[in-house]
Structure 1
Amino acid sequence: MLDMSDEALAVVERSFTMDVRAECWLGGELITDAIPVTDGSEDRDRSLGVPERISLTVPRRDRGVTWDPGADPAHPLAAYGQQLRIDYGVQVGSHWEWINRGWFLITNSDVDGDTVSVELQGLLTLIDEAKLVAPFQPSTTDTLASTARALVEPALTCAFDGALVDRAASSSMQWDSDRMEGLNDIASAWAAEYRVTEDALLLWAPLSDTGDPVLTLTDGVGGTVIRWQGSTTREGAFNVVVSQGEDSAGNQIQGVAYDEEAGSPFLYGGPFNALPVPYTESSPLLTTVAQCRTAARATLQRLRRANGRRLGVTMVPHPGLMTGDIVSVTGQGLRAAPCVIESLSLPYSPDEMSLTVRVLPS
């Protein structure tokens, strides 16, 4: 969860006064800190390559300033590299507390009558659109960390959690055009995940869905509504992950992870199928059996995000919540069940917030 004072946390548990502040930067320079946002919303879904989407509504003219970008490539709402820093304000007594929701790239601005509609995406858009102009291979001295840096910097700056242990990257690995594919291959082999922080860093950390709940959600309390959601299918289901690699002698190696999570509908040895139903992946970045086993366990954990039991939550907006946060849920047959936020929609006006949370094993 984003940093908030105890006073602000107490305020957002009930009705409160909010505001949105947006400032524009271009080429590392502040253009304006006073974009008049009248409405909007922020959507995050960590199953997407670029998880963040924001829509803003801005008056075409406000206090003598024209917010129609027209043909001006340096206008604060133009889509030529302009980045907005978005802060969500909560009134605490006689002052405002501002929660930084992050930095976002303007992708489109449309004028309709007296309003300007601005669309933004997360900064991983810079990597997603920047295809490689020639095949890329790590050198014999590159590591996983240095390879990640080579794929994204200087568009984004990488930061690495101290719990990640760097290691050599195989020079037999090659990516033809897709930088994001390279990042995902590194994350899979490293048993890691990456995200853009609110300070615009690309943070790499061990893959994890554990931690203490940052918030308790109870069905019917404070206007919170909790409902089961989703559908079921056998298509694409599995109960075993097989991660394959190649050792220094050129021999194929592999590691296996079985779905043994209590309560999993795909439990290995359970009613789903008495035989192994494998999900198989292969990467030259895996050079030992231990690395293959670690990657298999991480991939199993990552794939659970797509097929776990889900709840839809509507509630009073909470500007500190982010995808990946752990919350405690009571309702719909659950009692203080740990859940992880997989997606959210935060309104930039007085309205309800919605979450999709995945139930974790107790």
Structure 2
Amino acid sequence: MRDGAPDEVIAGACFWYSRVTSWLGGRLLASTVPIISGRATGKVDQEVIEEVSLTVPRFAAAAEGEDVADWRPGTDTLHPLARYGQVLDVTVVVVSVITGTAWETRVGRYQVKDWDDDDAGLISVKGESLLARPRDDKLTAPTSPSSTATFISEARRLAPAGMGVSFEAGLIDRALPQAFAWSESRLDAWRELAAAWPALLRIDPWGQARFRAPLPAVPAPVITLTDGARGTLISAPRADSRAGAPNLVAVTTQGSDTADVVGISAITSGPMSVNGDYGIVTKKWSSGAVTNLAEATAAAKADLDASSRPAQIVPAQIAPDPRLELDDPVELLREGDQLWGYVTAYDMPLTAGDGAMRVDVGLT
């Protein structure tokens, strides 16, 4: 959960706005991008995980007292909204109406993907999280881990130039086999490392790739979303889907000199049991980063937990709360129901006129 205003301010009397700055490398191009509306979104199974969309006036002053500027990039490669490596830094500021105290929540950094001029005075801008960089920066030739490679050292070696990589303390580093080669995609290689570890590949608010430990089977909620007095929950419909919800995951080793082995994790009780009427829905994959049965079984279990989580979701509508982020453990209280789960997706407005925030909570 991100830092920000306390629960009583979010649920009480407050106003808020977003501050967007534009950077090109270490150069500040615009200290304020004047946005009319915008949304920041995230989804755990999306390629670059998080994105942003903004609507900007064609002509506007960035701040009071400044000259009016043209916010259409045109052919200017140094324009704040151009797509030549420009990065938008987004922060949400929440201010208490009662005390005037302000809290800042850093949401993320987004590489400008494209812009569009509607020829009616508005510019639409789309950006992607910096996981777009390893997706786009392909390896020019197959490459293999060195003889001393570990999961951590290899994750760092595969990073695009200038991109930081961090690792949660709960992850245990281990040696990586050399008897395989990565394909051209750095992002796919990172994902394979994460799956084999097992770990979660995420992006932090500073644009740094982060490998996190798998989520616990039972969440310990960091926030309670409830309706009624002093609550922020507007609605909490339910949704359930069989699509993408395996009850058996099989992971095959490829990185040892012995015959390949298969690690299996299965749901053996409850309505999704492999022994019941649900039937068997299998997900299979293999990796050269997995070398023995114990590693394959651990990877299969982590994948099974992650794959089954988004199947049964509560797409909750809440008052905007910039602190919430992917993987946050959440408690939902709605009309007598008490539900626990993890945030699997969010859609957050960046201005006060952009409506409610949606948070998908994958139930456990």
TM-score for both structures, normalised by structure 1: 0.90
Structure 1 residue 297: deviation in Å?
1.0
Superposed displacement of residue 333, structure 1: 6.6
Alpha carbons of structure 1 residues 169 and 60: separation in structure 2 relative to 1, 3 Å: same
Q: What pairs up with 1:258-269 in 2 under 5 angstroms?
A: 258-260=266-268, 263=270, 265-269=271-275
In 2, the alpha carbon distance for the partners of 1:237 and 1:171 equals 33
Cα gap change, 1:133/1:98 in structure 2, threshold over 3 Å: closer, same or farther?
same
Gap change, CA 1:59 and 1:168, over 3 Å in 2: same
In structure 1, what residue type is equivalent to 2:51? R
Going from structure 1 to structure 2, the CA distance change for 1:268 and 1:333 (only over 3 Å counts) comes to farther
Pair 39,237 (structure 1): closer, same or farther in 2 beyond 3 Å: closer
Deviations 1:47-71 (A, max 9, x none): 1111112111111111322212111
Aligned length: 350
8 A Cα contact 1:15 1:316, kept in partner: no
Structure 1 contact 217–224 (Cα < 8 Å) conserved? no
Task: For 2:170 and 2:163, locate their aligned partners in 1 and report how far apart those are by CA, in whole Å.
Answer: 21
Q: How does 1:1-362 map to 2 (within 5 A)?
A: 1-6=1-6, 9-63=7-61, 64-92=68-96, 93-112=99-118, 113-209=120-216, 210-219=218-227, 222=231, 224-232=234-242, 238-246=246-254, 248-260=256-268, 263=270, 265-273=271-279, 277-307=281-311, 309-331=312-334, 334-335=337-338, 337-350=339-352, 351-360=355-364
CA distance in 1, matches of 2:22, 2:321: 24
What secondary structure sits across from 2:261 in the alignment? strand
Q: Secondary structure at the match of 1:153?
A: coil
More deviation, 50-59/212-221 = 212-221
In structure 1, distance between residues paired with 2:282 and 2:56: 50
Query: Is 1:14–1:316's contact at 8 Å kept on the other side of the alignment?
Result: no
Q: Distance in 1 between matches of 2:132 and 2:320?
A: 26
Distance 1:89 1:105 in 2: 21
Tell me the CA shift for residue 247 of structure 1.
6.3
Instruction: Give the AA of the match of 2:293.
Output: V
Question: Structure 2: which 5+ runs fail to align?
Answer: 62-67
Structure 1: distance between partners of 2:57 and 2:245: 48
Using the alignment, how far apart are the partners of 1:117 and 1:284 within structure 2?
43
Q: CA deviation at 1:155?
A: 4.4
The one-letter code matched in structure 1 to 2:95 is: Q
2:64 match: none
2:85, 2:111 within 8 Å by CA — same for their partners in 1? yes
Letter in 2 for 1:270: G
What's the secondary structure of 2:105's corresponding residue? strand
Q: CA deviation at 1:31?
A: 1.8
Deviation (angstroms), 1:343:
0.8
SS in 1 for 2:172: coil
Quote the RMSD (CA, aligned, Å).
Answer: 2.0
Distance 2:334 2:222 in 1: 17
Structure 1, unmatched stretches of 5+, are none
| Contact 1:227/1:332 (<8 A) preserved | no
Distance, in Å, in 2 between the alignment partners of 1:103 and 1:130 is: 18
Cα pair 2:52 2:126 within 8 Å, conserved: yes
Q: Is the 8 A contact 1:89 1:98 kept in 2?
A: yes
* Comparing 312-321 and 215-224, the one that deviates more: 215-224
Q: Percent identity?
A: 29
